[in-house]
């Protein structure tokens, strides 16, 4: 029996990069497909939308959330809100996703937000910090599905040297400790690098404790 409670899968050991723990190919192909099926249910209840940045431009990444809180942005700024823009509560975080948090996060609190980012092949996400949460001792866990994404990790302040790595379908990352406040972003997606999703693109799930 391994950490995630599955006795038939040998899980890779993580590689440490600037304080991030990168578990390459943590999820099997079958688990990725099952996760995608779970997400179809979430997306049916809470469809993807294009957040507007405080500067007034729509983000190229489309988003939605599951859990008590969802991440939201408009002209008034970035924040967590308790309802989807349609007015409905965010759907619950699927159990399979909570199981991944339990296996890798190393903390006892449960995630309160599962942000679902969908990257069409031409989308990117600029360098930023995740600092809308109340407790930075709680890690962030990220799960990648679909096409490869070029992830860039910097420092706790803007600028300085950065390191890049490709995030592939089934990879899991844990950002804890000093890495929690590092600048990071997605420079580009490599189109048609994964057959998991019929129309291509990349999905990233980020699990966070918000309060
Ligand atoms: C480092 N998402 O949603 S996941 C985000 O692939 C975000 O969609 C990217 O950055 C994506 O905020 C990167 C890796 C990640 C996620 C959260 C972090 C790295 C992080 C929080 C703190 C530090
Ligand atoms: Fe982020």
Q: To test the ligand 1 pocket, which listed residue (204, 205, 209, 210) has its Cβ within 8 A of the most ligand atoms?
A: 204
- Looking at the domain assignment, is residue 5 inside a domain? no
- Looking at the domain assignment, is residue 180 inside a domain? yes
Are 145 and 170 contacting, i.e. CB atoms less than 8 angstroms apart?
A: yes
For ligand 1, atom 15: residue with the closest CA = 142
Distance CA 102, CA 197 (A): 26
Pocket of ligand 1 (CB under 6 A): 115, 117, 125, 130, 140, 142, 149, 173, 175, 179-180, 182, 184, 186, 204, 206
Share of the chain above pLDDT 90, in %: 92
Q: Which of 22, 208, 66 is nearest to 130 (CA)?
A: 208
pLDDT band for position 178 (cuts 50, 70, 90): confident
Give tens-digit pLDDT for 92-142: 999 999 999 999 999 999 999 999 999 999 999 999 999 999 999 999 999
Contacts of 134 (CB under 8 A, 6+ apart): 210, 211
pLDDT at 19: 83
- Looking at the domain assignment, is residue 6 inside a domain? no
- Looking at the domain assignment, is residue 47 inside a domain? yes
Phi, psi torsion values for 119, nearest 5 degrees: -105, 110
For ligand 1, atom 6: residue with the closest CA = 204
- Looking at the domain assignment, is residue 7 inside a domain? no
- Looking at the domain assignment, is residue 143 inside a domain? yes
- Looking at the domain assignment, is residue 1 inside a domain? no
| CA atoms within 13 A of residue 138's CA, in its CB half-sphere | 20
Q: Which of 18, 13, 6, 2 is nearest to 164 (CA)?
A: 18
Are 85 and 70 contacting, i.e. CB atoms less than 8 angstroms apart?
A: no
Give residue 71's domain range: 18-208
What is the rounded end-to-end Cα distance, in angstroms, of the chain? 33
pLDDT band for position 12 (cuts 50, 70, 90): confident
- Looking at the domain assignment, is residue 120 inside a domain? yes
* Number of the ligand 1 atom closest to the C-alpha atom of 167: 6
What CATH number does the domain containing 144 carry? 2.60.120.590
Give tens-digit pLDDT for 140-177: 999 999 999 999 999 999 999 999 999 999 999 999 99
Domain count, the chain: 1
| CA atoms within 13 A of residue 74's CA, in its CB half-sphere | 5
For ligand 1, atom 12: residue with the closest CA = 130
Ligand nearest to the CA of 166: 1
Distance CA 108, CA 124 (A): 32
* Number of other CB atoms surrounding residue 119 within 10 Å: 22
Give tens-digit pLDDT for 40-90: 999 999 999 999 999 999 999 999 999 999 999 999 999 999 999 999 999
Are 3 and 14 contacting, i.e. CB atoms less than 8 angstroms apart?
A: no
């Amino acid at each position: 029996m391994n950490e995630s409670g599955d006795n038939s899968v040998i899980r890779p050991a993580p590689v440490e990069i600037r304080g991030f723990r990168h578990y390459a190919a943590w999820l099997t192909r079958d688990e990725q497909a099952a996760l995608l099926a779970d997400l179809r249910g979430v997306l049916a209840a809470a469809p993807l939308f294009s957040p507007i940045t405080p500067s007034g431009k729509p983000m190229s990444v489309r988003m939605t959330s599951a859990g008590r809180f969802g991440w939201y942005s408009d002209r008034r700024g970035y924040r967590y809100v308790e309802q989807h823009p349609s007015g409905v509560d965010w759907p619950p975080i699927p159990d399979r996703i909570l199981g991944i948090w339990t296996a890798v996060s190393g903390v006892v609190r449960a995630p309160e937000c599962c942000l679902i980012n969908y990257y069409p092949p031409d989308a990117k996400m600029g360098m930023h910090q995740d600092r809308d949460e109340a407790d930075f001792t709680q890690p962030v866990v990220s799960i990648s599905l679909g096409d490869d994404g070029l992830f860039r990790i910097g420092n706790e302040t803007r600028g300085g040297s950065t390191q890049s790595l490709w995030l592939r379908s089934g990879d899991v990352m844990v950002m804890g400790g000093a890495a929690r406040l590092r600048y990071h972003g997605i420079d580009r997606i490599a189109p048609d690098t994964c057959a998991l999703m019929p129309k291509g693109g990349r999905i990233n799930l980020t699990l966070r404790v918000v309060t």
